[in-house]
Chains A and B, each alone.
Chain A
Amino acid sequence: MAKRIELNVNGTKHTIEAEPEMPLLYALRDDLGMKDPRFGCGLAQCGACTVLVNGEPTRSCVTPVDALAGKTITTLSGIGNADKPHKVQAAFIEEQVPQCGYCLNGWVMTSVALLEKNPRPSDAQIREALSGLKCRCGTHASILRAVKRAAQA
């Protein structure tokens, strides 16, 4: 049965009525009307829905909305904006990374978390951290350039 659930998203608290097992992704998109995390697979296999939960990259498509009490959720539009982009966003823009860009939540949010923990990752560490994310357009070379650029920023 639907219940009241409180969510803290990009620094703002929201209360929604939802089935507790509903994935966070649908709360963000459908209940809160957000558009940055996107449905890609619903299986935690691609990363298009990635958000940060307490700073950890998390696949919102498989995270029950009921599991987020007291946690902070940050989305792609919550880490920076046109006036003050996050350094990872600035690097992705500088390197003109995306083709369709549908996958970007995964690459950007995972890179943000990587650089928090390891500000100067090696090429191999970058590849390892980003492994499993999907990009069908094949922009991998641009992604690697951008993450290296962000690490040097």
Chain B
Amino acid sequence: MTIHLNRREALVGMGALVVSVMLPGVKANAAIATQASRLALKPEQLATYISINQDGSAVGWVGKVDMGQGTDIGWLKMIAEELDLSPERVSMVQGHTDLTVDQGGASGSTGIWRAGAALRNAAAEARRVLVEMASEKLSVPVDRLTVTDGVVSDKTDAAKKVSYGELIGGRHFDVTLEWNKHFGNELLVTGKAKPKSPSEYKTVGKPGTRRRDIAPKVLGTLDYMVDVKVPGMLHGRVIRPPVAGAVPVAVDESSVKDIPGVQVVRQKGFIGLVAPKEWDAIRAAQKLKVTWSDVKPPFPDQKDLFDHIRNAKPVHRDDEQNVGDVDKAFASAARIVEATYEWPFNSHACMAPACGVADMRDGEATIWTGGQKPHHCREGIAKMFVLPEEKIKVVAMTGPGSYGRNDAGDATMDAAVLSKAVGKPVRVQGMRHEGHGWDPKAPATIHKARAAIDKDGKVTAWHYETKGFSRREFFRDEGSPERTLAGQLMDWPLKPVWLIGPPSESYDFESRRLASEAIAPLLDRASPLRTSHFRDPLGPQVHFGVESFMDELALATNTDPVEFRLRYLKHPRDLAVVKAVAEKAAWKPHVGPSKQANGDVLTGRGIAYSVRGQTRVAVIAEVEVNRTTGKTWARRFFVAHDCGQVIAPDLLRQTLEGQIVQTASRALHEEVMFDNKGVTSVDWTTYPILDIKDAPEAIEIVLIDRPELPPVGAGEATCRPTAAAIANAIFDATGIRLRRAPFTPERLKAGMA
């Protein structure tokens, strides 16, 4: 894709025309629908979210980005529903900072939940306004009008009709919505119109709306982030230190003088280079002789990681959740059950090291990003280069997968620093070892669980403590330079955000204490082990402990694991997912490991459940463990999922499948390896992920649709219970309780020895 740098050109073909219009029945003043009007986006304006093309098709504009789960299809179905248009006639524009307001980017599974709510309200209001306009034009009262696929007609005389395209096509709404004065995820707008009742839905909740990005991806015609080409663009590479924490003290530029067009850029601790050809930039980055400062290797031995966490002084303790008298319950307990669970660092390990393109010429900035939060990217660029945000345009492109704050935000800042230094557009993409080695990591944590059981076998106290690295050193992602590697290397003062968070479940024990504390990073600056949010930040880790322990309590109280959960769970929707998954899997109640053996293969099933926000999920995993090799195959999964109202059930199912497989990969295979100098798991051999040979044979999903409730997010919640379901299934198969992830053959063989 070759880009021409007219800031407004991006709008051509998106249906925005330069037309002035009076909107009868709305306002007397003219809404001037120029292309430029999108540049002054106002969060309270209907036109910010919805526009109608001349052919009567609609465009939804959203400051979030689909990461390949079809969130855009969810949005356009919600818009189509409220507008009474077929979904095929609605398209979405996502994430571009010039074209959409800051709705927080892809964040916290809020795409449908938060942005969907705003778009739904806006579309409902747009329909109301269009019907009013039609009423005036046709001289038919509003209550006698009906809308069919964007044509407003008289219920009593079908010949009296007018289309959305005829009413407003190509011009902008001039309608003010009520705005809650928030940007980001919390942004909400409300119109006078009430959205439809679910009983009237034609497309929401129904399958069959095809994703628009699939065919171009499969046919090899989609422009990805890596395909952005700007005229005059150079290829950049950044050189990371061999020992984490070292900074360059001398650079021998003559070492790359035989490679054409190489230019070295050094700014404080940041060092990179550019060349006209990508291969030359790669070769130069490999050949460039850099003398690094002599620093003490900053990391402990990997084998001491969990001891380090245990012994480290906390820098932050989240607010404790206390119910009842926990201490008294423990003091009077007949029995106390305790266990500790551990989870290592995980890498985002996206399909490719991040790519970013920046053009910093002429006091303006244009950035192309594969990251999740283009508006935050703009904030970070504005601060780093002291530019007003209106001089910065960030274009959202499809990256190599993203499941949180990966390395995309580092690549854009690297590209911007290089572009600013050399005065030309620069494209940066790292090599594989830089992606795995330097992407932010999902934090390593330990989880201490303790329960008091009375003489009747009742659980009277539940105490859970998580301790580990912060799940978000990067609040608002790359929204400030110190949240990027380049910014850290250029001495921006760090502002860490400490957050761990408690588990989320509704076990109704008589008393409970949930606590969590964060420890300082192993290296405070430009660390290959800095931690960020990675799909369901800390959810799989925290709930691996919680739900493994619930199985341990079930065993300690001679209770079937499903029965145990049904006995103590309080929330009816939580009970419903547990019952639904048990029914789907035809769960056979039992106490203790079943150890079903067929030759060398042991088979078992395990359940786990959790809540994320308002979404609840229960998972049953069925595993086969080979007792000779110690290898686990997570063969089948059953899932019961309740995210309130279901928008697109077919896409939702695939989203859940992806979460199951990705989390099975983390649980069974993934562990960032490091030595005292840095990360040593720097490719797919040293950081293995689940292979297709080990993919589940079946993932059977029950969607509990609650059309009367808001849709509350489905992009992450299934990651949360999946690891524990696998651990519990392994216990059922083998009798071995694994309390440290990943569940590798070595650990199982050690348990079986």
Residue on B nearest A147 in the bound complex, by CB:
B692
* Interface check B288, CB cutoff 8 A: no
| Contact yes or no, A101 B398, CB < 8 A | yes
CA of A76 to CA of B207, assembled, Å: 29
Please, which residues of chain B bring their CB within 8 A of the CB of A72? none
With A26-B278, A41-B432, A141-B699 as contacts: A136 and B351 at CB distance below 8 Å: yes
| Contact yes or no, A93 B215, CB < 8 A | yes
Contact of A100 among B67, B210, B218, B664 (CB under 8 A): B67
Mask: chain B, 202-213; 1 = CB below 8 Å from A; 0 = not? 000000001101
Segment from B50-58, B223-231, B541-549 that makes contact with A: B223-231
* Interface check B199, CB cutoff 8 A: no
Please, which residues of chain B bring their CB within 8 A of the CB of A92? 214, 218
CA of A80 to CA of B699, assembled, Å: 31
Contact of B692 among A33, A42, A127 (CB under 8 A): A127
Task: Say how far A153's CB is from chain B's closest CB, in angstroms.
Answer: 14
| Contact yes or no, B432 A43, CB < 8 A | yes
Please, which residues of chain A bring their CB within 8 A of the CB of B650? 96
Interface residues of B in 26-50 (CB under 8 A from A): none
Contact of A136 among B217, B429, B685, B689 (CB under 8 A): B689
Please, which residues of chain B bring their CB within 8 A of the CB of A101? 68, 213-214, 217-218, 222, 398
Interface residues of B in 130-185 (CB under 8 A from A): none
| Contact yes or no, A85 B224, CB < 8 A | no
| Contact yes or no, B352 A102, CB < 8 A | yes
Mask: chain A, 111-153; 1 = CB below 8 Å from B; 0 = not? 0000000000000000110111111111111111000000000
| Contact yes or no, B69 A99, CB < 8 A | yes
* Interface check B660, CB cutoff 8 A: yes
Task: Say how far A61's CB is from chain B's closest CB, in angstroms.
Answer: 9
Mask: chain B, 270-291; 1 = CB below 8 Å from A; 0 = not? 0000000111000000000000
| Contact yes or no, A102 B695, CB < 8 A | no
* Interface check A55, CB cutoff 8 A: no
CA of A39 to CA of B430, assembled, Å: 10
Please, which residues of chain B bring their CB within 8 A of the CB of A96? 70, 210-211, 214, 650-651, 654
CA of A41 to CA of B682, assembled, Å: 10
* Interface check A75, CB cutoff 8 A: yes
| Contact yes or no, B68 A137, CB < 8 A | yes
* Interface check B219, CB cutoff 8 A: yes
| Contact yes or no, B223 A35, CB < 8 A | yes
| Contact yes or no, A136 B401, CB < 8 A | yes
Contact of B659 among A39, A136, A138 (CB under 8 A): A138
With A38-B224, A138-B659, A140-B692 as contacts: A77 and B219 at CB distance below 8 Å: yes
Mask: chain A, 83-108; 1 = CB below 8 Å from B; 0 = not? 00100010011001111111111001
| Contact yes or no, B654 A139, CB < 8 A | yes
* Interface check A15, CB cutoff 8 A: no
| Contact yes or no, A102 B224, CB < 8 A | yes
| Contact yes or no, B214 A30, CB < 8 A | no
| Contact yes or no, A128 B693, CB < 8 A | yes
CA of A101 to CA of B661, assembled, Å: 16
CA of A105 to CA of B221, assembled, Å: 12
* Interface check B665, CB cutoff 8 A: yes
| Contact yes or no, B277 A100, CB < 8 A | no
- The binding surface of chain B is classed by DSSP as loop
Task: Say how far A104's CB is from chain B's closest CB, in angstroms.
Answer: 6
Task: Say how far B475's CB is from chain A's closest CB, in angstroms.
Answer: 24
| Contact yes or no, A100 B657, CB < 8 A | no
With A46-B351, A77-B221 as contacts: A141 and B695 at CB distance below 8 Å: yes
* Interface check A68, CB cutoff 8 A: no
Task: Say how far B651's CB is from chain A's closest CB, in angstroms.
Answer: 8
CA of A40 to CA of B431, assembled, Å: 8
Number of interface residues of A (CB under 8 A): 57
CA of A131 to CA of B217, assembled, Å: 21
Most buried by A among B69, B218, B222, B224: B218
* Interface check A45, CB cutoff 8 A: yes
| Contact yes or no, B350 A136, CB < 8 A | yes
Number of interface residues of B (CB under 8 A): 59
Task: Say how far A141's CB is from chain B's closest CB, in angstroms.
Answer: 5
Interface residues of B in 704-746 (CB under 8 A from A): none
| Contact yes or no, A81 B219, CB < 8 A | yes
With A100-B398, A100-B399 as contacts: A89 and B218 at CB distance below 8 Å: yes
* Interface check B200, CB cutoff 8 A: no
Please, which residues of chain B bring their CB within 8 A of the CB of A89? 218-219
* Interface check A19, CB cutoff 8 A: yes
Task: Say how far B426's CB is from chain A's closest CB, in angstroms.
Answer: 15
* Interface check B696, CB cutoff 8 A: yes
Residue on B nearest A103 in the bound complex, by CB:
B351
* Interface check B559, CB cutoff 8 A: no
| Contact yes or no, A102 B218, CB < 8 A | no
Please, which residues of chain A bring their CB within 8 A of the CB of B699? 141
Interface residues of B in 229-252 (CB under 8 A from A): 229
CA of A39 to CA of B224, assembled, Å: 12
| Contact yes or no, A38 B226, CB < 8 A | yes
CA of A57 to CA of B695, assembled, Å: 22
* Interface check A52, CB cutoff 8 A: no
CA of A132 to CA of B351, assembled, Å: 13
With A26-B279, A130-B692, A134-B689 as contacts: A77 and B352 at CB distance below 8 Å: no
* Interface check A7, CB cutoff 8 A: no
Task: Say how far A107's CB is from chain B's closest CB, in angstroms.
Answer: 9
CA of A29 to CA of B664, assembled, Å: 34
Please, which residues of chain B bring their CB within 8 A of the CB of A127? 692-693, 695
| Contact yes or no, B68 A98, CB < 8 A | yes
| Contact yes or no, B217 A30, CB < 8 A | no
| Contact yes or no, A35 B657, CB < 8 A | no
Please, which residues of chain A bring their CB within 8 A of the CB of B350? 102, 136
Contact of B220 among A19, A77, A99, A132 (CB under 8 A): A77
CA of A103 to CA of B226, assembled, Å: 13
* Interface check A73, CB cutoff 8 A: no
Contact of B218 among A38, A98, A133, A135 (CB under 8 A): A98
CA of A75 to CA of B583, assembled, Å: 46
Please, which residues of chain A bring their CB within 8 A of the CB of B224? 35, 38, 102
| Contact yes or no, B220 A35, CB < 8 A | yes
CA of A93 to CA of B400, assembled, Å: 19
Contact of A137 among B214, B223, B229, B662 (CB under 8 A): B662
CA of A134 to CA of B350, assembled, Å: 10
Task: Say how far A36's CB is from chain B's closest CB, in angstroms.
Answer: 3
* Interface check A82, CB cutoff 8 A: yes
* Interface check B1, CB cutoff 8 A: yes
Residue on A nearest B655 in the bound complex, by CB:
A99
CA of A106 to CA of B699, assembled, Å: 24
Mask: chain B, 298-339; 1 = CB below 8 Å from A; 0 = not? 000000000000000000000000000000000000000000
Task: Say how far B276's CB is from chain A's closest CB, in angstroms.
Answer: 10
Please, which residues of chain A bring their CB within 8 A of the CB of B496? none
With A136-B351, A138-B665 as contacts: A102 and B401 at CB distance below 8 Å: yes
Contact of B695 among A41, A82, A140 (CB under 8 A): A140
Please, which residues of chain A bring their CB within 8 A of the CB of B351? 40, 46, 48, 100, 102-103, 134-136
Contact of B658 among A22, A40, A138 (CB under 8 A): A138
Q: List 8 A-B contacts (CB under 8 A).
A: A35-B223, A41-B683, A76-B218, A92-B214, A100-B398, A102-B351, A136-B350, A141-B696
- Supplied contacts A26-B277, A100-B400, A127-B692, 9 more A-B pairs, CB within 8 Å: A36-B220, A98-B218, A104-B218, A131-B691, A134-B684, A136-B403, A138-B658, A139-B658, A142-B657
